[in-house]
Chains A and B, each alone.
Chain A
Amino acid sequence: MSEIRSVTDSELVEPAKVHGARRRSEWVEILHNAWGFNRTRVGVGIFAFILLLAALGPFFAPHSPTEFVAAPFSGPSAGTVLGVDYIGHDVLSRVLWGGRTVLGLAIAATIIGLVLGVSFGLIAGYARRWLDETVMRLLDVLLAFPQIVLVLLLISLLGPKLWLIVLMVGLSHAPRIARVSRAAALEVVQRDFVRAAEALGEIKPRILFFEVLPNITSPLLVEFGLRLTYSIGLIAALSFLGFGLQPPAADWGLMINENRIGITVQPWAVVLPVSLIAILTIGTNLIADGLGRALIGIERESGGPS
């Protein structure tokens, strides 16, 4: 028995470590390759710009976001470069304050979606048989609903609380991420190092999260970028529909809703948050696209695999 154990340690565990190290270098390689695309660099630049705007903007805001500085829907003037909104708040100040929520909530929702989706996907991919079928068919039910409809349905049942919105958006991502995770895990779980870990008697969660997960990071990276794009759109849409922050909070999605009726007299209050949300989603989408291309080995800016 002791002889067998000795053989196992030297022959099976060590290759697994080697394999893991190779995989890690692989996703670093993918990041490196992705950075080679212009689209990725543009995407990162946009994302970094919006991130900085959201994080540092409040420090440069000329007014408090809740201060009344002029008559409603007044146009640009000396004290209000971009005019004021429907109630007399400075548009520039609210724009500078309003990015934190969209970005913060979207990132939080995406992380929640990732954690849930990866967990379900790994379990289904590893367990296979009836558990795989059960988990995936249940997720398919959720997948049948358009994301916004699913989120609105749950929020209308449970109430429009901010934490709930984040959770629901994350939950709506979970089935999609689970499918990707499962597909990637199916191939990995059949590798020798996983079987070796099983033979060593490692507990299943450890196998899933320390053996399988590190080896499916690359597709998950792409998926994270893609889901972040959807999260931004969903969170902004929910704010627009009045399910997000409460007035008088500054939030880009809320700003669009509050000011849309005055778009013909004071377009900045709508055009600016719309543009920023659009640019942000383009940025995250470009990053995801670049990562995706690097993952499947596309080396050119356009076209299929070379």
Chain B
Amino acid sequence: MSDEIETRARKAARRSLTRRDFLKGVGATGAGLAFGPLLASCGGEESTTTSTAAQGGGGGPKTGGSLKVGIVGGSAKDTLDPHLATTEPDIALNTQLYDSLMGWDQDYVLKNRLAEEVSANPEATVWTVRLRPDLSWHDGKPVTSDDVVYTFQRIVDPANPLSGAASLGGLKPENVIKVDERTVEFRLDIPNAILTEGFAYRQNMLIPVGFDPTKPVGCGPFKLGEFKPGQQATFSPFDGFWEDGPYVADLTIIEFADEAARVNAFLSDTVHMISQLPRAQVTVVEGSAGHKVLRASTGAWQPFTMRIDEKPYSDVRVRQAFRLIVDRQQMLEQAYSGYGWVANDMYSPFDPGFPKDLPQREQDLEKAKSLLKEAGYADLTVELVTSDAVGGSAVSAAQVFAEQAKGAGVTVNLNKVDPGVFYGDQYLTWPFAQDFWYTRNYLAQAAAGTLPTAPYNETHWKDEEWQKLVEEAYRTPDDAKRNELVAAAATIEYERGGLIVWAFNDQIDAYNEKIGGVKPDKSGTPLTGFRFHKVHFA
């Protein structure tokens, strides 16, 4: 990766580490892309999203009705600037107001959105984006290439690179060039075969020239009504939206700081949909008349992170032993109540290069003991730092690990810290901790979490052989070759990496059966990817 990318990544990290984000994981859901679909999409494939695929409703889309949605609580820091969005409420709100050039559909396939056509030269150094015709902003003005240039120049401004900048590696402001009213060229100094992933990043959504976040104007499916940060926001449909919908007459997104309050509001029909249904409540909702669970199998994960530059994890045998300690199925059952699927110490399961043929790692306490003994750590005591901020089940997973580690003679003392402490100054310095990530493809994930320059490299992973493979993959437009490189890189992490990837968790939300157009979203973004313009009353 270039120095420039490194610098941007570091700046992005410095700026955003104190606001450890939903988007590091989820907000970035739009950022994890598949190379195959990416290049296939260059031909201008139309979005195939449909609002008639109602699972909960039945019948065709019906217009009208006031949709009320309950989501996880935000704070007074909630923002309507899409480029600064970090938390779940930020993403939920901004997805209504704005839209991106490309995006993932609910099956995790990359599709064009505002872009009618995206193409690249064979070297992947020049990308050309052509906007759909007749796009307009909420104030009636047309969406033009000037707005695209303004948007991306704002994001990659070297003086103040925004969080989406890392996803546009290699892009300089002066290299975003208007060709005509609907066409923009992105010229790169170094090849970047996955730039389309950046176009799909939800923090890279389009804004108009002269954008004012206090009076947000977007081209998304809804226009803003009233906004009370940390409480709720109301929206009205935007008639000029390019895609089908919205179908509802108005939309209210309510933030609930307490999960019990969120569930109660849903069960009492105060809200029609809620995100992040606690797993313990699944049976309650399933047994409640008129309410349904929306369960999506995703590539989201909550790894244990071992710093490879810190004893005892600097010894690869200790890392291997810790991976062998984990009974993944038991951890899945106890920590996730079974809502997920077992992982194999590798991330990005939907990546076409993901090495599916590697043997599933199983618990082997004898081998773990033997490895620890060889490494000189026969009676090891370690501290595992955990926090509720990592996710609802992270502390549970840590407890399961501590219990399983007893079998290998390892004493694991849990240190549960406040969210502010976990993601405060000491974040990325914990020798043994946890973290969370949402669905991404391999190279996007590497850029965010495992390259030495990545803003969130929790394990301080640095491996020359691996790094060469990844960097070559970035520069390789050919899908098959790139997939081979990805598989080779992932195999290295499987053998000697610092992450214990034990499961991919399901996204669990709930909705009223009166609601149609609801579909599980594989990206991990809750509630049909927060695309409420597809939702209607049945």
Contacts and interface: CB of A to CB of B under 8 A. Distances in A.
Interface in A244-286: 246-248, 260-262, 264-266
Contact of A247 (B263, B337, B414): B414
A264 B284 contact: yes
B415 interface: yes
Given A87-B396, A87-B400, A73 B334 contact: no
A246 B403 contact: no
Nearest to B388: A242
A133 interface: no
A66 B280 contact: no
Contact of A67 (B263, B280, B398, B403): B403
A126 interface: no
Contacts of B335: 87
A248 B337 CA distance: 17
B337 A71 contact: yes
Nearest to A88: B334
B366 interface: no
B280 A262 contact: yes
Contacts of B260: 260-261
B370 interface: no
A71 B416 contact: no
B174 interface: no
A60 interface: no
B399 interface: yes
Contacts of B400: 68, 87
Contacts of A73: 280, 337
B297 interface: no
Interface in B329-356: 330, 333-335, 337-338
A160 B338 CA distance: 32
B334 A261 contact: no
A72 interface: yes
Interface residues of B, number: 27
Nearest to A248: B399
A124 B420 CA distance: 42
Nearest to B399: A248
Interface residues of A, number: 20
Contacts of A47: none
A87 B416 contact: no
Contact of B280 (A72, A160, A247, A248): A72
Contacts of B333: 71-72, 88
Interface in A23-70: 66-68
B416 A247 contact: yes
A52 B416 CA distance: 30
A241 B334 CA distance: 23
A165 to B, nearest CB: 14
Contacts of B463: none
B279 interface: yes
Contacts of B418: 160
B279 A72 contact: yes
A86 interface: yes
Contacts of B415: 246
Nearest to B402: A248
A241 to B, nearest CB: 11
B284 A247 contact: no
Interface of A: 66-68, 71-73, 86-88, 160, 242, 246-248, 260-262, 264-266
Interface of B: 259-260, 263, 278-281, 283-284, 330, 333-335, 337-338, 388, 395-396, 398-400, 402-403, 414-416, 418
Closest 7 CB pairs of A and B: A262-B280, A248-B399, A88-B334, A87-B396, A261-B278, A261-B280, A72-B337
29 contacts: A66-B399, A68-B334, A68-B400, A71-B333, A71-B334, A72-B279, A72-B280, A72-B333, A73-B280, A73-B337, A87-B335, A87-B396, A87-B399, A88-B334, A160-B418, A242-B388, A247-B398, A247-B399, A248-B399, A248-B402, A248-B403, A261-B260, A261-B263, A261-B280, A261-B281, A262-B280, A264-B281, A265-B281, A265-B283
